[in-house]
């Protein structure tokens, strides 16, 4: 094949190719001012680097999308949306994002405040927390979540690993909500076309903290989905165990969809009955059976925390513009007080429909396997499974049944 030549007879240069996408190395300067110092952590989508801001003389954290995801537009869009979501929340309990951009290679990055401390997942390796401490810390996180809800933002990935324990200058413990990468905008007026980033059959999040409606389809969620996750987190902070067992993801998903959560009383002594009731109400499988908003949850929990919890409760009420109902008498009869069972009739119906859906899906798969002797068996099974999933995830359809 003849070589391409320029008019002067010199070999013609081939098309320019962008530099390969790589993670910035220690000592490298990006955006002309951030000097990379070390790697802080790594997740499924991004790596977090410690860096020094040469102009301001301060340390920052830089979150860079991993190279393997940089070619996926919907992943890049969701990553960059994290910056928009977090910067709209001014709470001191939300991680601050200072800058957003792309490297010369085209990889997207976010510049965040540098936090000293550890996430609550690491804290829990030391065992369960005292109830007042667990409530104080959870309600601090809820301040940030409440402000997100006021802006029409659902976090969708609340878990101990995304709650960071740091200290204020006076030594007071402070919780920061981090990683808004899976957040969803539920007010269309907030960001145009935001809904297109989540498809009807997308399932995103960490199964141990995902509500049944989120397991079925991550686009069909609202603020009550975060409330479920807050309940699951508080359960774990108090007991150091998950409310839903399961040795693997399928078992955990099945437990969330079909089983009542474990009881706090069976795992940890001395927990006030009203605190367990509040947690169990968050973990109702029917969203309508949960609290109407996180201010009501805060009002139920605040009496069992310290003065910090009561201040958080007041802040949450102001942010949401509601006056929450005072916490009920812990000795009073409570429709949500059934321990170790599905207390809400609506939640029992959700479980029944979930069971029927999973059973129907199993039958479809079994029938497809039995039909495998036919030439079009694979296409037949795939088509029926997808049809069933579309039926389950269809907007307005009653809920029948998905780190």
Nearest Cα neighbor of 160 from 264, 257, 253, 236 is: 236
What is the rounded CA–CA span in Å between residue 387 and residue 291?
Answer: 34
Which conformational region is residue 172 in: left (phi greater than 0), alpha (psi within -120 to 50 degrees), or beta?
A: beta
What is the rounded CA–CA span in Å between residue 142 and residue 301?
Answer: 12
Nearest Cα neighbor of 368 from 354, 379, 357 is: 379
Q: Look up 379 and say whether it is catalytic.
A: no
Would you tell me how many other CB atoms lie within 10 Å of the CB of residue 28? 14
- The catalytic residue among 77, 99, 157, 288 is 157
Reduced to 3 states (helix: H, G, I; strand: E, B; else coil), residue 118 is: strand
Question: What are the backbone angles phi and psi of residue 100, rounded to the nearest 5°?
Answer: -145, 145
Kindly list the strands in the beta sheet with 118-119, ordered across the sheet, starting from the edge strand earlier in the chain: 118-119, 163-167, 173-177
Transcribe 147-216 into DSSP letters.
HHHHTTEE----SGGGEEEEE-TTS-EEEEE---TT-EE--TTTSTTGGGGS-TT---S-GGG--HHHHH
Long-range contacts of 275-278 (CB under 8 A, 24+ apart): 275/131, 275/135, 275/238, 275/301, 275/304, 276/339, 277/328, 277/330, 277/334, 277/336, 277/337, 278/231, 278/234, 278/327
Q: Which residues pair with 78 in a beta bridge?
A: none
The residues annotated as belonging to the active site are 157
């Amino acid at each position: 094949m003849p070589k391409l030549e320029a008019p002067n007879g010199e070999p013609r240069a081939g098309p320019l190719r962008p530099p390969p996408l790589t993670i910035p190395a220690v000592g490298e300067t990006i955006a002309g001012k951030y000097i990379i110092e070390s790697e802080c952590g790594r997740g499924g989508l991004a790596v977090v680097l410690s860096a020094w801001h040469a102009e301001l003389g301060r340390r920052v954290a830089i979150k860079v999308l991993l190279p393997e995801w940089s070619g996926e537009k919907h992943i890049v869009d969701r990553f960059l949306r994290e910056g928009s979501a977090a910067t709209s929340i001014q709470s001191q309990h939300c991680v601050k994002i200072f800058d957003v951009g792309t490297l010369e290679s085209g990889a997207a990055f976010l510049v965040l405040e540098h936090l000293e401390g550890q996430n609550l997942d690491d804290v829990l390796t030391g065992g369960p927390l005292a109830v007042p401490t667990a409530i104080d810390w959870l309600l601090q996180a809820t301040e940030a979540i409440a402000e997100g809800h006021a802006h029409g933002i659902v976090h969708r990935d609340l878990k101990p690993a995304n709650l960071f324990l740091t200290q204020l200058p006076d030594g007071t413990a402070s919780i920061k909500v981090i990683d808004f990468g899976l957040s969803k905008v539920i007010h269309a007026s907030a960001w145009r076309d935001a809904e297109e980033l989540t498809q009807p059959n997308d399932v995103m999040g960490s199964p141990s903290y995902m509500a049944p409606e989120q397991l079925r389809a991550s686009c069909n969620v609202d603020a009550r989905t975060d409330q479920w996750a807050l309940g699951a987190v508080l359960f774990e902070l108090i007991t150091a165990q998950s409310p839903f067992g399961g040795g693997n993801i399928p078992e955990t998903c099945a437990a969330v969809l079909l089983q009542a959560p474990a009881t706090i009383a069976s795992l940890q002594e001395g927990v006030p009955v009203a605190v367990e009731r509040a947690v169990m109400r968050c973990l109702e499988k029917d969203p309508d059976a949960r609290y109407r908003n996180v201010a009501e949850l805060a009002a139920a929990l605040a009496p069992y925390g310290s003065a910090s919890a009561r201040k958080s409760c007041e802040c949450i009420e102001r942010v949401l513009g509601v006056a929450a109902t005072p916490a009920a008498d812990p000795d009073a009869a409570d429709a949500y007080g059934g321990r170790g069972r599905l207390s809400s009739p609506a939640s029992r119906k959700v479980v029944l429909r979930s069971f029927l859906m999973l059973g129907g899906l199993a039958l479809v798969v079994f029938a497809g396997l039995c039909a495998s002797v036919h030439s079009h068996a694979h296409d037949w099974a795939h088509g029926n499974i997808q049809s069933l999933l579309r039926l389950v995830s269809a907007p307005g359809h009653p809920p029948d049944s998905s780190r």
